[in-house]
Homo-oligomer: A and B are copies of this chain.
Amino acid sequence: MSPNEEIAASRKEQILQSAAALFASQGFYKTTTAHVAEAVGVTQPYVFHFFKSKEQLYLAVLEKAFDRMMNQFFTVNAPPDQLSTEMGRQFELLLQSHRNEMLLLMQSFTTPEPAVRNFVKEKYSFAYDRLVERFVKAGVPNPQWQASMFISLGLIGTLAEVLELPKLAPWCDSE
């Protein structure tokens, strides 16, 4: 990899990172490609050198976030009776280390672009299935219910963070 390519690669990473922060706090529509470019320190059209559209950029950010989350969950190895709790702890760690990505993930289901909807639907479906599978293998009772509850805790944690109302989810109070 030549130095130029390294720079380009890092630019792409920088764009993904800045985009994650902006999309998480401003949402898809209020975040402009110019904002992303400015945050990185490049010009707006240059963003299109790496991503063929704003939507593709958004999807790339989401995919990265999803992969990170799934990795974190499925590297956990805890006894069945502590599995749910331990995975919850892992999510809280992610919420500290990659707050933007996680908040974005949990809000992404409200972005009404059809391509985004399909993508998010697929990912949530996949995540749910793997959670159930995990609980089943661990012999936990009511695996489907456990999986649903796990996701819903992520949702209300995000709600609490976004609205800055820690009382709504005191158990993941980070400040």
Contacts and interface: CB of A to CB of B under 8 A. Distances in A.
A27 interface: yes
Given A111-B27, A112-B26, A159-B151, A144 B170 contact: yes
In the complex, the count of this chain's copies comes to 2
B27 A110 contact: yes
Sorting the interface of chain A by its residue count into under 10, 10 to 19, 20 to 34 or 35 or more gives 20 to 34
Interface of A: 25-30, 107, 109-113, 117, 120-121, 124-125, 128, 144, 148, 151-153, 155-156, 159, 162-165, 167-170
Contacts of A111: 27
8 contacts: A109-B162, A110-B162, A124-B165, A125-B163, A144-B167, A144-B170, A148-B168, A155-B155
A135 B47 CA distance: 52
A128 to B, nearest CB: 6
A39 to B, nearest CB: 16
Given A26-B112, A124-B159, 13 more contacts: A28-B29, A30-B113, A109-B159, A117-B163, A124-B165, A124-B168, A125-B163, A125-B165, A128-B167, A148-B169, A152-B156, A155-B155, A155-B159
A30 B29 contact: yes
A144 B171 CA distance: 11
A27 B30 CA distance: 12
